[in-house]
Amino acid sequence: MATVSGNMKGFYRQKKNAITKKSSNKSPINAATLGSVAAQTPAHAGSPDLEDEHKASEVVLRQFDMNMAYGPCIGITRLARWERALRLGLNPPQEIETLLKSGKVQAESLWDGCI
């Protein structure tokens, strides 16, 4: 068993990089299309240099998905769910909308297509 030293996150990041590099030659490195892979490798999607940005925005979006106040996240795109929350007067944070409209993030929640 390899020893885990210092930065746990760093350790795993390197490991997963190798796998994504191999398998992703055919498909563009883009969080939005790695749907099924994302389900298995939840914390790592996208190419190494874009990863930080994706991770941060994806984490924020996942918080939005999981927030019970806005209703179920399956079967509805994130933007539609945000708009519904706005219409129902739930005051969803504006930054989510800007993130979703920027187009670089996954339009559906994590489980979309898997359930």
Partner 1 sequence: MERVQCSYHSEDEAFKIGKETYRGQQYSQIYFARLHLMRTLLYSLVPHWKPNFPVCTVLGLEEGKECVIVGTLYKHMKLKPCILDEYSKERSVVPLVKSHNFMHPDDHLVLEDESGRVKLSGNPISPSEYVTGNVVALLGKESGAGDFLVLEVLDAGLPPQIEFPLKSREDKYVVIVSGLSVGSSNSNPLQVQLLIDHITGHLGDEKEQTIASQITHVVFAGNSVEIPRRLLNGQNSTSKDLSRMAESIKELDILLSQIAAGLTLDIMPGPSDPSNFSLPQQPLHRCLFPGSSQYNTFRSCTNPHCFELDNVRFLGTSGQNIDDLEKYSDAKDKLEFMERTLRWRHVAPTAPNTLGCYPYTDRDPFFIESCPHVYFVGNQDKYETRVIKGSEGQLVRLICVPKFSETGVAIMLNLRDLECHTLSFGTQLSS
User: Which residues contribute to the site for partner 1 (CB under 8 A)?
Assistant: 68-69, 71-72, 74-77, 80, 84, 87-90
Please report how close the Cβ of residue 85 comes to partner 1 at its closest, in angstroms. Answer: 9
Please report how close the Cβ of residue 113 comes to partner 1 at its closest, in angstroms. Answer: 9
Number of H helices and E strands in the chain, helices first, is: 5, 0
DSSP 4: P
Please report how close the Cβ of residue 59 comes to partner 1 at its closest, in angstroms. Answer: 21
Q: Which is nearer to partner 1, 19 or 88 (CB)?
A: 88
Contact 9, 2 (CB under 8 A): no
Please report how close the Cβ of residue 83 comes to partner 1 at its closest, in angstroms. Answer: 8
Residue with tokens 């883009």: 30
The phi and psi torsions of 14 (rounded to 5 degrees) equal -65, -40
Q: Which is nearer to partner 1, 89 or 103 (CB)?
A: 89
Contact 48, 17 (CB under 8 A): yes
Q: Which is nearer to partner 1, 50 or 97 (CB)?
A: 97
d(CA 110, CA 99) in angstroms, rounded, equals: 16
Q: Which is nearer to partner 1, 60 or 76 (CB)?
A: 76
